[in-house]
Amino acid sequence: SDKIPLKRGLPIPQGISEKAFLSAIDELRTAIGAENVELNDKEVNNGWYMEHPNTHDMMPLFDVEEFIASAVVYPGSVQEVQIIVRWANKHLIPIFPISIGRNLGYGGSAPRVRGSVTIDLGRRMNKILDINAEDYTCLVEPGVTFYALYEELQKRGLGDKMWIDTPDLGGGSVLGNTLDRGVGYTPYGDHWAVHSGLEVVLPKGEVVRTGMGGLEGSNTWQCFPYGFGPYSDGIFSQSNYGIVTKMGMALMPNPGGFESFMYTFQNESDLAPLMEIIRPLRIANILENVAQLRHGLQTLSIQGFPRAKYFKGKGQMPESIYREELKKTKTGDHAWVYYGMSYGPANIRKFKLDIVDAEFHKIPGCRKIDSKTLPAGEYFWSRDRIASGTPDLEELRWVNWMPNGGHIAFSPVSPIRGIDAERLFALAKQRHAEAGIDLMPAFCVGLREMHIIVEIVFDAQDADMKQKAEKCLRDMIDDAARLGYGEYRTHLALMDQVAGTYNWNDGALMKFNNTLKDALDPRGILAPGRCGIWPARYRQRGWEL
């Protein structure tokens, strides 16, 4: 934990005087309780994952005071969220909702516009409102973490009956992660696809329920996502059109057994033929979860040691060094490692695993690692927990690769084809080499697409390295767009650029987004700039990055 006094003082949002801002804050204190409004006028405290800040990005790519809140408010009810929204409209103060604020790699808890008032929904609105053990559904408030939902199922004796799906880190918000279209690693890993029903406070203060929730006295809000008429949920994910106060989610029935497996492949050039093998298996559901094909250097970094333990030079760590280091690990030397899980009773698993084994062994040099040889602390067991719905924190280990480790992801989506994997890998390789940054990509295979996640780990105190990281990211986004690939999600700093790549038909999609924004949020108060969507009073006035 390192507390640094603010260099630029209280970050007052643009367009309002300090006096008017402080008087508006007093009004808010009176409305929802002084103890629920905190001014951010003293210091930045980066904390760490478990005690993360809610005022800024603890892994900042720019100066830490660039994306920073002027104050944080803690509503305790939907009515208080409405009060805050109406207050923001009255004073033209930008507000930025977070559920937990652990959106690390994508901006953490930071707002896009400096001086926004952050609405930290998670602190007081953190109830599991329902767990339905017949329908296998739940209804949660923003502050419910993957850990909290998991523990509640155990407490109620339902842990053996039903599973949650968790991303690599369990400390995030079920609702916040889903709204950012995050992913986990059971067959229910596409969180957005398995949610059902939202309650949303709109930017002018009205409350709506989507899907079946639109029907007074509805009994199927968490069972049928669509309801009647336009399906409106989509506009509330990766956007700035509303503040979500409740969300329904499906829970997965215990499949009756599970078994993790791990294969290694020797050559970087195995990537393309392997993808051709993975695609039909994944689409046919023989490979059943969002499986990961990880680069060998990531196998080394996940051991949790700083890179300096292996290599003290500048620039990229040479391949010869990390391959040599890998030889000393339990999994041995490899270019790629595949982590997967098979679900169901033993006989059903065997049927699928035999097919996988025969197919993977078509790649010369392929090795199946016998899990019985792996000790309890081995990373494999973290993947095992996550793919069977048990929250974990081991994934944080690779952030130690650099001192003051920060990270940002380049995450384009592509078809599951050898040629696409090769193209994306080649462009990342070239741009990383130019920037002198270690490349550790992971291919996360969805159902008919894959996300390639390239995490750039940087030293947050090293301005030169951060500049190189930013250039590398921006170059990769542009290179990928030229080849027809777009990001599935991005960091606050890159949202304008990524949104700009979705430019078919003279930017028709952004024009549509802007039309919605202006209709729903005419005073432009809610999360201006999020996902590249700017309200009219900010648009093309120098805010875009």
Residue in 142, 389, 391, 441 binding ligand FAD, rule: CB under 6 A: 142
Residue in 60, 105, 211, 213 binding ligand FAD, rule: CB under 6 A: 105
Is 530 among the residues that bind ligand FAD (CB under 6 A)?
Answer: yes
Q: Which tokens belong to 126?
A: 């953190």
Angle at 47 between CA 44 and CA 53, to 5 degrees: 60
Is 296 among the residues that bind ligand FAD (CB under 6 A)?
Answer: no
Spatial CB neighbours of 236, under 8 Å, sequence gap ≥ 6:
179, 198, 200, 210, 242, 244
Residue in 135, 395, 449, 459 binding ligand FAD, rule: CB under 6 A: 395
Is 244 among the residues that bind ligand FAD (CB under 6 A)?
Answer: yes
CB of 238 to ligand FAD, least distance (A): 8
Residue in 72, 396, 498, 520 binding ligand FAD, rule: CB under 6 A: 396
131: nearest Cα among 97, 161, 104, 111: 161
Ranges of H-type helices in 106-244: 146-155, 174-179
Would you give the binding string for ligand FAD spanning residues 154-193, x where CB under 6 A is met? -------------xxx--xx-xxx-xx-xx----------
Is 387 among the residues that bind ligand FAD (CB under 6 A)?
Answer: no
Is 99 among the residues that bind ligand FAD (CB under 6 A)?
Answer: yes
CA distance 386 to 184: 8
Residue in 68, 84, 121, 162 binding ligand FAD, rule: CB under 6 A: 121
CA distance 242 to 203: 6
CB of 99 to ligand FAD, least distance (A): 3
45: nearest Cα among 2, 92, 12: 2
Burial bucket for residue 253 (CB in 10 Å: 0-12, 13-18, 19+)? exposed
Is 104 among the residues that bind ligand FAD (CB under 6 A)?
Answer: yes
CB of 346 to ligand FAD, least distance (A): 28
Q: Which tokens belong to 248?
A: 């329904």
Cβ proximity to ligand FAD: between 37 and 492 the closer is 492
**Catalytic machinery residues:** 106, 488-489
Phi, psi of 368 (to 5 degrees): -90, 130
CB of 148 to ligand FAD, least distance (A): 12
CA distance 262 to 255: 20
DSSP labels for 48-111? BTTB--SSB-SS-SS-TTTSB-SEEE---SHHHHHHHHHHHHHHT--EEEESS---TTTTTT--
Is 102 among the residues that bind ligand FAD (CB under 6 A)?
Answer: yes
Q: How many residues bind ligand FAD (CB under 6 A)?
A: 30
Is 199 among the residues that bind ligand FAD (CB under 6 A)?
Answer: no
Cβ-proximal residue to ligand FAD, closest one: 172
CA distance 274 to 279: 9
Cβ proximity to ligand FAD: between 98 and 520 the closer is 98
Cβ proximity to ligand FAD: between 142 and 227 the closer is 142
Which region, judged by CB under 6 A, interacts with ligand FAD, from 65-73, 310-318, 321-329, 391-399? 391-399
Q: Under a CB-based contact definition with an 8 Å cutoff, are residues 265 and 363 in contact?
A: yes
Which region, judged by CB under 6 A, interacts with ligand FAD, from 4-12, 278-286, 392-400, 463-471? 392-400
Cβ proximity to ligand FAD: between 169 and 335 the closer is 169
Residue in 98, 262, 271, 281 binding ligand FAD, rule: CB under 6 A: 98
Q: Under a CB-based contact definition with an 8 Å cutoff, are residues 264 and 331 in contact?
A: yes
CB of 386 to ligand FAD, least distance (A): 8
Cβ proximity to ligand FAD: between 135 and 395 the closer is 395
CA distance 86 to 206: 10
Is 103 among the residues that bind ligand FAD (CB under 6 A)?
Answer: yes
Is 53 among the residues that bind ligand FAD (CB under 6 A)?
Answer: no
Other CB atoms closer than 10 Å to residue 333's CB: what's the count? 16
CA distance 139 to 247: 6
Angle at 321 between CA 317 and CA 324, to 5 degrees: 150
Is 100 among the residues that bind ligand FAD (CB under 6 A)?
Answer: yes
Residue in 53, 97, 412, 441 binding ligand FAD, rule: CB under 6 A: 97
- Site residues for ligand FAD per CB under 6 A: 97-105, 109, 121, 142, 167-169, 172-173, 175-177, 179-180, 182-183, 243-244, 395-396, 399, 530
